[in-house]
Structure formats: C-alpha cells, structure tokens
C-alpha cells in the first residue's frame, strides 16, 4: 500500500466506494487521516462499514465543515454534463477536490529513496485506444528484462494498493481521461499519448474538453520524456507544444501512418516493420509481423509506443524485441479465442468505439463481424475504410436494426442477441474466415461492461465447438 502523505490528522471525505474509493480510503487512514466515506449505493456503504470505515452522509447540509479535501472516484462527474451534488457542495464550501491518482503522485516518494542507487520511475499511459495493451506491454517488457515493475491504475491494481517501489522499481500506470482530468498532482517520469478519437464526449463537453483532460498529464507535471502518437492533429499539436526545438529528444514521436523524418527521436511502423530513428539515422528495426500477440496496425502502434517508453529507460532494442514475442496480449483485445477448421475466432470486445473497431477490421480479412450495442456520438461513417474486409455483419443489441442502417454496402443479419450472432457466424464461416467480435459500441444496453460482453461471446463460442 502507498500511504497517503501530508494529510495526517485531517478530515478527508471520500465519495464513491468502488475499487479506487476503498483503496483511497484505506491509504488515507494508513497515512493518519480521518476518513469520511460515502456512496449513494447502500450495499457499498454497508461494505465500507464492514471494512471498518466511518460512513458519513456527505449529502447533508454542513457535511464539509472542517473537511480538508474531497477524494472522488473516476466514474462520478465533477463538471460535465453536470456536477454531482456532493462535489458541487464541496466546491461551494471551498474544499479542494482530488482523486486517487493525485494522492498517489503526492505520496509516492519517501525518505527511503535517498538511499536508492536508482530512484523509482513512473510511466503513465493515456490516449483513446490502446492504453491497456500499451501499458501491459511495457510492464511485460520490463519484467522480462528483469526490472522490478508494477502495473496499476485503470488496469491491474489500484494505484494506492501497489507496494512501495524499491531501488530501480518502475510503476506503469494506465490513466483514463476521467483520472487525468481531476488529479491535482500528475508528475510521471515518462508520459505516453497513444492517439485520440471521439469518446466520453458528454463527460468532457466535447472533443476539445476530452483532449484537454488527456493533455493535463503532460502539461501539469512536465515529464522527463514524452512519447506522443502524432497520427492525429491533437498529437502533433501536443508534440509541438512540448518540444523546444526540432531535435529535442525529450519528445519521441510515434506513427503508424507514415515514415517520420527529422533530427529528433522517432519510432514508427511501416508495412509491419518498427523502425527507430535518432538524429536522422536508423538505430533499430523489428519485424512486428512475426509477433503473434500484436496483430494489426493498431497493435503496431501500441508496440511503437511501448518500445519508445522502454528505450527511455535504457533497454536495448533486442531485449525489447525478445519480450514482444512472449507477449500473449490482453483479454477482450484482439484475443484469439479458438481456431476451428481454418476459422479463427477473435474477441475484441474492448473495441467500444468506431476508431477501435476500424483498427480491428483492418487487422483481418474475410471477417464474419459481430457488432452493435449502444451507439456513441458521431455515427458509424468512420468504419467505411474497413468494411471491404467484412464478408457479413451480425448485429447485436437492443437497437440492432438502427445500428445496421449505418453499415452501408455490407451484408447484414439482425441478430439482437450474442447467442444468435455466434450461431449464425460460426455456421456460415468457411476456412480462411475470421469470426470477429468488435462491437464499435458501448455494451450497456445488454451488459454491465465490455468484459461481460466478451465473456458471453467466449462462452457462446465454446458451447458450439
């Protein structure tokens, strides 16, 4: 556990008692703070009481008298589309609002570090798509290279639940826009921006607010190194804002759209080959086509970002390449579930938006595509470049018929349920086909989360093999 520093003897309120909220409450208590915990959900309050926390109704008048800070779980809106009433009350009372990420960064360093040969480092990864895979891949490479590393944040353990890192330790954090938007301290040693596509627009009042939340990771703390995907305007802008000169190698530009050139530090993938350039000269190359756990252009982007982050820590290219080959990938992200009679079955339930689904479509040919769910803002037009890879679409979700209208030029079957879609796709699949779940939509119309949707897909597949 990372004990929260600087709040001993103070009253600190915690709103939201899920994984991050409970973790923050425990870490605050361990650091000597008096914790006042609250959740609108009675079972969550009961669980907190059973865990020994003091549950206090933060919705009552005067709840924030003598409270030093309010810690908020990431799923609770603090500004858009409208502030939660408890957060609004804290702001009205002048109480600072923070989250577990802010507590982590203010509490990580301890006097013990003075005796270390190599102070611990933090690599923080954000972006729209690929955060989880990039974070897990960095952690895998570091572990395979013999470095003590921990994975936390939006993946793995809660940030305050990890062990205090020792001499030379590395903490790899996946951070969502919900987490970066509110944290009062953001000071990673290496910060990674994978890409940007429209997502969570209601929470951030549009694409500009969404990008601004991501940008805080780089602007607030000033990382020693920044790895920036530059295939979108926002990434190019961010790289330019962080660079002092064209050859400033504190910024590493990453691309899978084109060969990068110039005097700076570049990592890009072209036709399946990763290349690293520094000062206009090639330093290393890796054939990503032979890496089974990283199929497709989107995973090549993840590989470039992870490679660049690991290079900032001094790892050799061949060490990174060897670790790439033993990376198994993550569940629900281009996950091969089975192969039968020449048919490959892939679970990419994490493809919850159009851009992520497009990358999945571009990674395979002859696709029997299971898609649909709670459609996000912006429509489905962005899928068009990948639709010629699709032999047929099997649409699920409560609004399957409406979703299907956005798939022009593709043979479509309205299935509604996962069971019916899997049955139809497997029945019609021929050798060389790929049965792919890449919904291009949120899961909440039928499932609690994308993981549950992916598990249902896997269960339906296995029931028929």
290, 325, 360: which is the final residue of a domain?
325
Confidence of residue 465 (pLDDT cuts 50, 70, 90): confident
Residue 127 known to bind ligand: yes
Largest Cα–Cα distance in the chain?
68
**Same-domain check for residues 285 and 168:** yes
Distance (Å, whole) CA 93 – CA 1: 31
Task: Judge if 303 and 353 occupy the same domain.
Answer: no
Q: Could you give the dihedral angle defined by the CA atoms of residues 70, 75, 81 and 84, in that order, rounded to the nearest 10 degrees?
A: -40
Residues 42 and 137 in one domain: no
Q: Are 247 and 224 in contact (CB under 8 A)?
A: no
Q: Please tell me the total count of domains within the chain.
A: 3
Is 73 annotated as a binding-site member? Answer: no
Residue tagged 């072209």 (tokens): 270
Whether 1 maps to a domain, the answer reads: no
Name the residue among 243, 380, 354 with its Cα closest to residue 298.
354
pTM: 0.87
- CATH (domain of 362): 3.90.190.20
Query: Which residue, of 284, 300, 325, is where some domain finishes?
Result: 325
Looking at the domain assignment, is residue 2 inside a domain? no
Please provide the average confidence, as pLDDT, over all residues in the chain: 95
Is 132 part of any known ligand binding site?
yes
pLDDT at 201: 85
Claim to verify: residue 142 and residue 90 sit in the same structural domain: no
Whether 5 maps to a domain, the answer reads no
pLDDT bucket at 172, cuts 50 / 70 / 90: very high
- The H-assigned helical ranges of 108-206 are 131-144, 177-182, 201-204
- pLDDT of 4-39, one tens digit each? 999 999 999 999 998 899 999 999 999 999 999 999
* Helix 296-312 and helix 131-144, axial crossing angle in degrees, nearest 10: 50
> Quick check: 181 pLDDT over 90?
yes
Indicate if 57 and 151 belong to the same structural domain.
Answer: no
Q: What is the pLDDT of residues 54-95, one digit of tens each?
A: 999 999 999 999 999 999 999 899 999 999 999 999 999 999
Check which CATH number belongs to the domain holding 28 and give it.
3.40.50.720
Question: Are 258 and 364 part of one and the same domain?
Answer: no
Specify the 3-state DSSP secondary structure of 301.
helix
User: Around Cβ 298, how many Cβ atoms within 10 Å?
Assistant: 26
| Nearest one of 341, 328, 349, 348 to 465, comparing CA atoms | 341
326 has binding-site annotation: no
Kindly state the tokens that stand for 360.
């999945």
User: Quick check: 415 pLDDT over 90?
Assistant: yes
Note whether 77 and 150 are same-domain residues.
no
Q: Is the dihedral of CA 137, 139, 140, 142 positive or negative?
A: positive
Rounded CA-CA distance 261/7 in Å is 48
Q: At 299, which CATH number?
A: 3.40.1190.10
- Domain membership of residue 3 (yes or no) is no
Q: Which among 137, 102, 57 is positioned nearest to 301, based on CA atoms?
A: 137
E strand segments, 216-334: 225-229, 251-255, 265-270, 273-278, 281-287
Token pair belonging to 364:
């395979």
pLDDT of 221 higher than 90: no
Domain residues for the domain of 249 are: 109-325
Omega of the bond prior to 81 within 30 degrees of 0, cis?
yes
299 is in an annotated binding site: no
Residue 178: the pLDDT is 94
Q: Are residues 319 and 363 in the same domain?
A: no
Q: Confirm whether 76 is domain-assigned.
A: yes
Whole-number pLDDT of residue 200: 82
The first and second tokens of residue 214, run together, are 């991501």
103 located within any domain: no
Looking at the structure, tell me whether residues 91 and 125 fall in a common domain. no
Examine the fold and report which residue of 98, 119, 136 is the final residue of a domain before the chain moves on.
98
Residues 68, 202 within the same domain: no
Phi, psi dihedrals of residue 5, rounded to the nearest 5°: -100, 155
Residues 265 and 187 in one domain: yes
Q: Is 133 annotated as a binding residue?
A: yes
Contact 4, 28 (CB under 8 A): yes
**Phi, psi (rounded to 5 degrees) for 344:** -95, 135
Q: Are residues 248 and 272 in the same domain?
A: yes
Please check whether residue 6 lies inside any domain of the structure: no
pLDDT exceeds 90 at position 295: no
């Amino acid at each position: 556990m990372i004990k929260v520093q600087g709040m001993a003897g103070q009253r600190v309120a915690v709103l939201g008692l899920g994984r991050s909220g409970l973790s923050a409450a425990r870490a605050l208590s361990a650091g000597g703070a008096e914790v006042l915990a609250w959740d609108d959900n009675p079972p969550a309050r009961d669980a907190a009481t059973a865990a020994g926390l003091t549950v206090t109704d933060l919705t009552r008048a005067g709840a924030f008298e003598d409270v030093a800070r309010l810690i908020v779980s990431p799923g609770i809106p603090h500004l858009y589309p409208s502030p939660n009433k408890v957060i609004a009350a804290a702001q009205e009372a002048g109480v600072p609002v923070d989250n577990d990420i802010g507590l982590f960064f203010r509490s990580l360093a301890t006097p013990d570090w003075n005796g270390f040969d190599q102070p611990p480092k933090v690599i923080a990864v954000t972006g729209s798509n690929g955060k989880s895979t990039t974070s897990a891949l960095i952690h895998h490479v570091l572990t395979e290279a013999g470095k003590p590393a921990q994975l936390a944040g939006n993946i793995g353990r809660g940030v305050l639940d990890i062990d205090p890192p020792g001499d030379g330790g590395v903490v790899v954090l996946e951070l969502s826009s919900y987490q970066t938007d509110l944290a009062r301290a953001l000071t990673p040693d290496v910060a990674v921006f994978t890409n940007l596509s429209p997502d969570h627009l209601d929470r951030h009042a549009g694409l500009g607010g969404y990008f601004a939340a991501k940008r805080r990771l780089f602007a607030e703390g000033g990382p020693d190194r920044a790895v920036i995907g530059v295939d979108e305007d926002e990434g190019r802008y961010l790289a330019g804002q962080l660079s002092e000169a064209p050859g400033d190698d504190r910024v590493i530009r990453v691309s899978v759209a084109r060969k990068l050139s110039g005097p700076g530090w570049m990592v890009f993938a072209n036709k399946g080959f990763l290349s690293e350039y520094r000062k206009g000269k090639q330093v290393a190359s890796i054939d990503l086509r032979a890496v089974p756990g990283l199929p497709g252009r989107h995973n090549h982007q993840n590989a470039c970002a992870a490679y660049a982050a690991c290079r900032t820590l001094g790892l050799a290219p061949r060490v990174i390449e060897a670790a790439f080959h033993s990376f198994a990938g993550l569940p629900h992200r281009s996950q091969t579930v089975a192969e039968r009679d020449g048919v490959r079955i892939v679970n990419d339930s994490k493809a919850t938006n159009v851009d992520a689904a497009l990358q999945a479509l571009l990674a395979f040919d002859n696709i029997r595509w299971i898609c649909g769910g709670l459609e996000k803002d912006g429509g489905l037009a962005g899928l068009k470049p990948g639709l010629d890879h699709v032999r047929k679409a099997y649409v699920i979700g409560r609004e399957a018929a409406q979703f299907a209208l956005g798939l022009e030029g593709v043979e479509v079957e309205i299935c509604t349920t996962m069971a019916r879609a899997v049955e139809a796709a497997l029945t019609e699949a021929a050798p060389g086909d790929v049965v792919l779940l890449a919904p291009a939509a949120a899961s909440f119309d039928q499932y609690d989360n994308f993981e549950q949707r992916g598990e249902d897909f896997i269960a339906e597949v296995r029931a028929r093999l």
